[in-house]
């Protein structure tokens, strides 16, 4: 497991995992973050970690102590990290993880402990996870709708589905049934694969045999490129749709020529330059991408970098409010953050404008989505 400390000057890393530092309670705000920086979902977690280089070091005059651990995409490791944040570091805020299954695990721990939790991956919000968790990525129904509208506009009638054999794959499969089927589309084949799989040849053969007008891929990170590549290699010529879980330059790098023509839902951070000046997402998106690409190279921007960066954009608004309720390290401060999530409106960030409610823990609207395609190895707005 990797451990990262963020200070004003440096991110230090070590492979050891000694006891995590406890909060000083009154003079610092402790934020524990578990993301996936190794394993198949590292393409999500690494940008989430990297974007922390560009977030504030203090808010409301109070220093932030940020502790970042790698969970490898494993829900058990994410649970362990979250429990250490609770018991050893006395965290005021928890963030993570990078994919849905470990995010569900972290949410469970945070809600048991009564600590505000920012999910960095879509997760099903159940009653036991509804009080202390909010979600930074866009919900599947908002992102799915823009894909299905594109399908309908391009006369797609039949769709094949290939997605992860876990909760993320389930979210997209169920959303297609809930939204696309009433719009007149039919799913003619459903295939699944595991995140660590290195081949989907069997599943793709079945999809190609079904000959759908389009294929929807419910996957994330670089693994989303696996069915994309296999479909094109097997001669499939229909439209291929990818979710916002695939929106990164790594997808193009891995898929290569097979990425050309993909239709992909994305958050606005992938193309803030094309937004009108009136868009509340434009300024934070440009700020993040300018800093990120100056450090990590041209075209290194990422959908996922926006999620962790945006959590701190939200904290700029809610921490000053919470400090009126109590000091860091106290239940009153944590409750103050939870209430400020609900009282503060139009929380502008690179990926959306957040207006959370007790029932809506995603809090975003159509301003949180765009639709892209790949042309000549670059993302451009889709038509």
Largest Cα span, the chain: 63
For residue 281, pLDDT beyond 60 = yes
Average pLDDT, integer, range 245-268: 94
Length of the chain: 383
For residues 31 and 41, the model is more confident at 31
For residue 264, pLDDT beyond 70 = yes
Q: Are residues 129 and 200 in the same domain?
A: no
Per-residue model confidence as pLDDT tens digits over 338-380: 999 999 999 999 999 999 999 999 999 999 999 999 999 999 9
Q: Which two tokens stand for residue 284?
A: 């934070």
pLDDT at residue 299, rounded to an integer: 86
Q: Which of 42-46, 49-53, 283-287 has the lowest mean pLDDT?
A: 42-46
Q: Which residues pair with residue 17 across a beta bridge? A: none
For residue 5, pLDDT beyond 70 = no
Q: Are residues 121 and 95 in the same domain?
A: yes
Q: Label residue 298 exposed, middle or buried (CB < 10 Å: 0-12, 13-18, 19+).
A: exposed
**Distance in angstroms (rounded) separating the CA atoms of residues 10 and 324:** 31
- Bridge pairing between strands 239-242 and 58-59: unpaired
3-state DSSP assignment of residue 159: strand
What is the number of domains present in the chain? 2
Q: Are residues 125 and 7 in the same domain?
A: yes
Q: Which domain holds residue 248?
A: 140-266
273 domain-assigned: no
Q: In the chain, what percentage of residues exceed pLDDT 90?
A: 87
Q: Locate tokens 């965290």: which residue?
A: 91
pLDDT at residue 376, rounded to an integer: 95
93 domain-assigned: yes
294 domain-assigned: no
Cα 107 to Cα 66, 134, 230: the distances in Å are 18, 9, 35
For residues 94 and 14, the model is more confident at 94
376 domain-assigned: no
Q: Label residue 344 exposed, middle or buried (CB < 10 Å: 0-12, 13-18, 19+).
A: middle
Q: Are residues 107 and 182 in the same domain?
A: no
Residue 244 near residue 303, CB atoms below 8 Å: yes
For residue 336, pLDDT beyond 80 = yes
Q: Are residues 144 and 250 in the same domain?
A: yes
pLDDT at residue 17, rounded to an integer: 45
For residue 23, pLDDT beyond 50 = no
318 domain-assigned: yes
Per-residue model confidence as pLDDT tens digits over 58-75: 999 999 999 999 999 999
Say which CATH number the domain at 309 has. 3.40.50.2300
pLDDT at residue 114, rounded to an integer: 98
* pLDDT band with cut points at 50, 70 and 90 for residue 26: low
Q: In what order do the strands lie in the sheet with 378-381?
A: 186-193, 158-164, 214-218, 239-242, 263-266, 370-375, 378-381
Q: Are residues 145 and 262 in the same domain?
A: yes
Q: Are residues 247 and 152 in the same domain?
A: yes
3-state DSSP assignment of residue 203: helix
275 domain-assigned: no
Last residue of a domain, one of 266, 293, 322: 266
Question: What average pLDDT is seen over the chain?
Answer: 92
Per-residue model confidence as pLDDT tens digits over 355-366: 999 999 999 999
246 domain-assigned: yes
26 domain-assigned: yes
Q: Are residues 144 and 88 in the same domain?
A: no
Q: Are residues 244 and 212 in the same domain?
A: yes
Last residue of a domain, one of 221, 244, 266: 266
> Where are any strands of DSSP class E within the chain?
3-6, 11-14, 29-35, 58-59, 62-70, 93-96, 117-119, 133-135, 158-164, 186-193, 214-218, 239-242, 263-266, 347-348, 353-354, 370-375, 378-381
What is this structure's pTM?
A: 0.86
Q: Are residues 133 and 15 in the same domain?
A: yes
Residue 93 near residue 115, CB atoms below 8 Å: yes
pLDDT at residue 7, rounded to an integer: 39
For residue 1, pLDDT beyond 80 = no
Q: Are residues 185 and 99 in the same domain?
A: no
Average pLDDT, integer, range 165-172: 94
Q: Are residues 167 and 243 in the same domain?
A: yes
Average pLDDT, integer, range 286-306: 95
**Measured between alpha carbons, how far apart are the two ends of the chain, in Å?**
43
């Amino acid at each position: 497991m990797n451990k990262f400390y963020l200070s004003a000057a440096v991110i230090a890393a070590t492979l050891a995992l000694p006891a995590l530092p406890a909060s000083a309670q009154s003079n610092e705000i402790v934020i524990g973050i578990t993301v996936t920086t190794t394993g198949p979902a590292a393409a999500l977690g690494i940008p989430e970690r990297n974007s922390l280089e560009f977030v504030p070091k203090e808010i409301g005059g109070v220093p932030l102590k940020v502790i970042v651990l790698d969970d490898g995409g494993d829900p058990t490791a994410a649970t362990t990290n979250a429990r250490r944040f609770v018991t050893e570091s006395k965290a005021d805020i928890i963030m993570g993880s990078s994919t849905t299954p470990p995010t569900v695990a972290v949410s469970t721990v945070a809600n048991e402990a009564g600590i505000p939790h920012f999910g960095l991956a879509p997760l099903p919000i159940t009653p036991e996870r509804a009080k202390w968790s909010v979600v930074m990525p866009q919900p599947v129904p908002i992102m799915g709708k823009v894909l299905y509208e594109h399908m309908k506009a391009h006369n797609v009638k039949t769709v094949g589905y290939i997605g992860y054999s876990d909760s993320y794959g389930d979210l997209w499969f169920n959303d297609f049934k809930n939204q696309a089927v009433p719009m007149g589309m039919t799913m003619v084949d459903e295939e699944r694969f595991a995140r660590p799989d290195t081949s989907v040849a069997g599943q793709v053969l079945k999809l190609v045999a079904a000959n759908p007008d389009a294929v929807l891929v419910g996957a994330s990170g670089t693994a989303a490129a696996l069915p994309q590549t296999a479909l094109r290699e097997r001669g499939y010529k229909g439209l291929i749709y990818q979710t916002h879980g695939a929106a990164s330059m790594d997808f193009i790098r891995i898929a290569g020529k097979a990425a050309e023509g993909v239709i992909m839902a994305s958050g606005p951070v992938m193309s803030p330059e094309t937004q009108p000046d009136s868009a509340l997402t434009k300024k934070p998106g440009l700020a993040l991408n300018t800093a990120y690409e100056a450090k990590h190279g041209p075209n290194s921007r990422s959908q996922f970098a926006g999620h962790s960066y945006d959590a701190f954009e939200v904290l700029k608004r809610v921490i000053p409010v919470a400090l009126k309720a109590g000091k860091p390290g106290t239940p009153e401060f944590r409750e103050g953050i939870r209430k400020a999530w609900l009282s503060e409106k139009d929380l502008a960030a690179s990926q959306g404008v957040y207006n959370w409610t007790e029932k809506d823990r995603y809090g975003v609207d159509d301003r949180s989505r765009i639709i892209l395609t790949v042309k000549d190895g670059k993302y451009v707005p889709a038509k």
